[in-house]
Chains A and B, each alone.
Chain A
Amino acid sequence: MDIFLQLIITGFMVGSIYALVALGWTLIYKSSGVLNLAMGELTLIGAYVSYTFYMWKIPFPLAVVFTLIIGVILGLLTERIFLRPLIGEPTLTVIMVTVGLSFFFRGLIFLFFNTDTLVFTPPVFPSEPVRLGNVVIGQVYIWSFIAALVLLAVFVIFFQRTRWGLAIQATADDEMAALSLGVSAKFVYAAAWAIAFMAAGVGGTLLGNINGINISIGYLGLLVLPAVVIGGLNSVPGAIVGGIIIGVLQNLAGGYLDPLTIAGFKVFPGGVKDIFPYVVMTIMLLVKPYGLWGWIRIERV
């Protein structure tokens, strides 16, 4: 029972990081219709950027802030250079360009870093775990959870309260109507990419603190796909819940399915944890292709 609780809690906390990255993904999809298959690399870039700042002896919170700033710059550049010329092109073309982008970003990273796992040194978060009764949780999970929640809250306030946040939502709902009021769709797309880079950057930073930094962060970043499929591609709350569900399921799969043995033989050769979210995604696509909250068209009363 304690193991179960522990898996759920840490899964929930890691899931909040996925939620952050998924929110960035959904934002791009909602506002511009671009299915971004480079989200894992955005996460990867964030991890390496913040690591670099941290190794330059910049305090961690400041390193995160710098990562956010770099994220904005890279997001604006990416949109301007790679995506804007493709406005109006067929969906498949745009998707293939994001695939190309993912290889480009990965190549760029390994131009500067080798493939060894890098670890934030000295460790950012204290290593002794926190005990809640019999449940033991590493502090890195707790702090990551808090950081992810704070950033999610900032994004939600931004969308609900600020001029640009509302403009982004308006464009996602009806681009033409927004344009008739002078809301520039181009600026909105650029803002969406900037926010996606920020969210993924912080997500990558937190994941890097948990697991160390190597190429696998990119694969973790790609977990947004099952997360957003569960949530329904174009729903921000859906992306957040989907991210958390994926975190929990992944942990449970790792805790129970991976070590599962029958009559002394391992049932799975290992790695169930990594593919389980995709299995769930496939099932979801079969039974509920629009996800939990996707494409809810409001019916007038």
Chain B
Amino acid sequence: MDTNGSILKLNNIEVMYHEVILVLKGVSLQVPAQSIVAVLGANGAGKSTTLKAISGLLKHEDGAVTDGSIEFMGQRIDRKHAEEIARAGIVQVIEGRRVFEHLTVEQNLIVGAHLRGGATVKPGLERVYHYFPRLTQIRHRLAGFCSGGEQQMMVMGRALMASPKLLLLDEPSMGLAPLLIKEIFTIITQLNQREQLPILVVEQNAKLALTVASYAYVLETGRVVMDGNADQLRDNQDIKEFYLGLTDLGTRKSFRDVKHYKRRKRWLT
């Protein structure tokens, strides 16, 4: 893909946990300005690890980028602390809807603006309530008592409060009802188009991700095994077989089990 105009570049990065467990074995990917890019893959493929490597949260799980580099808007960020990276404009929404349970919805959102100063709180809240009108009614409720969908909206809104230049979303659809998932993904598209916000979204739900993303990477045991434009991947036989239309993720076979996979892969790339 086109290497110019990318806001984020991962060049062949290797990630290790606890200095011994090698999890990413040379991952390269790019996020062009103003686009949505998806990272697909089964459980344990290394999707979350990829996002944490970018946001710097990895260092707080005793992980490190041991090889390769990560560039954000022309700056190397793989050695920087999570706070610096957040300050530079990369905000990660961690998987699992990690709300601050004992704070209200609105207080959760205000924490999102922590780095941006008091003057941004009011316009920020207005923007979040505009995209997530459902949060307006429950603004004074304790976050721990909200439903899963509301919590997902809250963590996304909270990230928005930080005025990100790049948003990292980790499995926003996880455990939500189909209608809600649709709503969430509609909002993801809106955020991308109206705010010109580049988004890197990780999903196990490939079908859904490929409808909003323009480009996607497929990750398997720490390697990118396939990448391409979203419509290309949607028509790809292997993707169809193994990711689309399958809801039970655990029973999926590996790409490596497909005999013709290697041949096809060469075709694609």
Residue ranges of A at the interface with B (Cβ–Cβ < 8 Å) = 160, 163, 166-167, 169-170, 172-184, 298, 300-301
Chain B residues with Cβ below 8 Å from A178 are 100, 111
Question: Given known contacts A178-B111, A182-B162, A183-B111, is B103 in contact with A166 (CB within 8 Å)?
Answer: yes
Q: Give the Cβ gap from B176 to chain A, nearest Cβ, in Å.
A: 13
Please name the residue on chain A nearest to B104 by beta carbon: A160
Residue B158 interfacial (CB < 8 Å) = yes
Residue ranges of B at the interface with A (Cβ–Cβ < 8 Å) = 55, 57, 60, 82-83, 86-87, 91-94, 98-103, 107-108, 110-112, 114-115, 118, 142, 144-148, 155, 158-159, 162
Please name the residue on chain B nearest to A186 by beta carbon: B83
Q: Are B107 and A166 in contact (CB under 8 A)?
A: yes
Please name the residue on chain B nearest to A180 by beta carbon: B92
Chain B residues with Cβ below 8 Å from A163 are 110, 114, 118
Question: Given known contacts A169-B100, A179-B60, A180-B55, is B111 in contact with A298 (CB within 8 Å)?
Answer: no
Q: Give the Cβ gap from A252 to chain B, nearest Cβ, in Å.
A: 33
Per the bound structure, the CA–CA distance linking A17 and B73 in Å amounts to 53
Q: Are A170 and B86 in contact (CB under 8 A)?
A: no
B114 in complex: contacting residue of A160, A173, A181, CB < 8 Å: A181
Q: Are A176 and B57 in contact (CB under 8 A)?
A: yes
Please name the residue on chain B nearest to A184 by beta carbon: B83
Please name the residue on chain A nearest to B121 by beta carbon: A163
Query: Other CB < 8 Å A-B pairs besides A174-B101, A177-B99, 18 of them?
Result: A163-B110, A163-B118, A166-B107, A166-B111, A169-B102, A172-B102, A174-B99, A178-B100, A178-B111, A179-B83, A180-B57, A180-B86, A180-B91, A180-B93, A182-B162, A298-B101, A298-B102, A301-B147
B111 in complex: contacting residue of A170, A175, A184, A301, CB < 8 Å: A170
Q: List 20 A-B contacts (CB under 8 A).
A: A160-B107, A163-B118, A166-B107, A166-B110, A166-B111, A169-B107, A170-B108, A174-B100, A176-B94, A177-B94, A178-B100, A178-B111, A180-B159, A181-B115, A181-B158, A182-B83, A182-B115, A184-B83, A298-B102, A300-B147
